[in-house]
Structure 1
Amino acid sequence: MSIAHHRQKRPQLVRQQLLEVAARLSLENGVASVTLDAVSQAAGVSKGGLLHHFPNKMALLDGLFDDLTQKFDQELDEQMRNDPVAHGRFSRAYLAAVLSLGAQTAQETQAWQVLTIALLAEPALRDRWRQWVADRADEFVGTDSSTNCLLVRLAADGLWLADILQSHDIGADERKALAASLKTLSFQ
């Protein structure tokens, strides 16, 4: 007698596992190598189970985008709650959130690497990121529209990309100094 109908179903765990496997496969072999068959096989989930959560590859990448930006937004909200100065608050939170990406677990770091690479390769994801940025710029136009605040966020993006590409060897002391300089700039 089969016990399949007695197993406890945990759709959120399965969904998260599929996202993690897709991120790992994408990082190891490139975004183009992520197929529904490869993800379902590597995750040990039937293709039907995968299709239940993600009907196609773009839905899988969208799911990864949604998952990571939701976590990023939560980090931003937390950083802003702890900042009593309104001017530049979002920019300082953005800087802190980007800098904290390096302190994440290997899986989270891997997921961000994959998403960043996918943003460069997938026009639909680029559009979604552009919209996320525009929405935040509109939301915080009253406090973070100065040139200095924009410079802080663009520098944070540069640090993010440098970390993902491992293109610069930035020591801990230098990173702290950069963060302090950018934070100071956000108050101006």
Structure 2
Amino acid sequence: MSKAHHRKKHPEAVRQQLLEVAGKLSLEKGPASVTLDAVSQAAGVSKGGLLHHFPNKLSLLDGLFVNLTEKLDRAISDKMRDDPEPKGRFTRAYVSVFFQPEGMEDGEQWKVLTIALISEPHLRDRWRQWVERYLAENVGTDSSPDAMLVRYAVDGLWLADLLGSPTMDSAARAAMLERLLTLSRS
């Protein structure tokens, strides 16, 4: 018998490894580099093993999206739970997670997701639905023009950081953060 028959199966670990490899390939070489062959080779998993978890490239990108938005949901929920002030609570959680580099778990994978969102219409629809769900859940506390302005500013900064635009020094970034948090309360 070959070693494959004696090897312990860890399907969730393999699935996670495939997602990480797909993310790394996308970040390093662009979304077009995420092919089933490239991911299976880089992960050291047979193509059949990859197809068991992800039958096509779109399902692989969907898996990456779900994985990252579940982490985002937890981070947003934790920040909202710790904020005693209802008005602007979701917006401040959004700022905390996206504006501050230390607030972003798996920052490199978020870059991958952002790139995938730009290139994949299906994922853009899923992202829009994610945002709309949070906005609907928080319509009474986070629908002011100032709260919207804060979220758009944070999105712009995240995109600027992703693209390597000229960065702000830490003092300017701290001042901007304070201004955005103040606006979230108006």
TM range (shorter): over 0.9
Equivalent positions of 1:21-100 (< 5 A) are 21-100=21-100
User: What SS is found at the alignment partner of 2:84?
Assistant: coil
The CA deviation string for residues 10-39 of structure 1, in whole angstroms up to 9 with x for no partner, is 111111111111111112221112110110
Residue from 127, 130, 135 that aligns with 2:128: 130
- Give the Cα separation in 1 of the matches to 2:161 and 2:13: 29
**Structure 1 unaligned residues grouped into runs of 5+:** none
**Aligned-pair distance for 1:101?**
4.3
**Aligned-pair distance for 1:55?**
0.5
- Count, aligned residues: 186
Whichever residue aligns with residue 151 of structure 1, its letter is: L
User: What SS is found at the alignment partner of 1:9?
Assistant: coil
**Aligned-pair distance for 1:78?**
0.5
- Give the Cα separation in 2 of the matches to 1:163 and 1:10: 36
- Give the Cα separation in 1 of the matches to 2:180 and 2:96: 10
- Give the Cα separation in 2 of the matches to 1:2 and 1:26: 34
The CA deviation string for residues 74-120 of structure 1, in whole angstroms up to 9 with x for no partner, is 10001001100000000000000102445657xx2221111111111
- Give the Cα separation in 2 of the matches to 1:147 and 1:23: 35
- The runs of at least 4 aligned residues of structure 1 exceeding 3 Å deviation read 100-105
- Give the Cα separation in 1 of the matches to 2:141 and 2:6: 54
Tell me the C-alpha RMSD between the 2 structures: 1.4
User: Normalising by the residue count of structure 2, what TM-score does the alignment of the two structures yield?
Assistant: 0.95
Moved more, 3-12 or 133-142: 3-12
**Structure 2 unaligned residues grouped into runs of 5+:** none
Whichever residue aligns with residue 174 of structure 1, its letter is: A
Equivalent positions of 1:128-167 (< 5 A) are 128-167=126-165
- Give the Cα separation in 2 of the matches to 1:124 and 1:8: 35
**Aligned-pair distance for 1:174?**
1.5
- Give the Cα separation in 2 of the matches to 1:50 and 1:83: 41
- Give the Cα separation in 2 of the matches to 1:97 and 1:28: 23
Q: Find the counterpart in structure 2 of residue 183 from structure 1.
A: 181
User: Normalising by the residue count of structure 1, what TM-score does the alignment of the two structures yield?
Assistant: 0.94
Contact 1:19 1:60 in 2 (8 A): yes
**Aligned-pair distance for 1:176?**
1.3
The CA deviation string for residues 101-147 of structure 1, in whole angstroms up to 9 with x for no partner, is 45657xx2221111111111111011111111111111100110111
- Give the Cα separation in 2 of the matches to 1:176 and 1:100: 9
Contact 2:98 2:104 in 1 (8 A): no
Whichever residue aligns with residue 124 of structure 2, its letter is: R
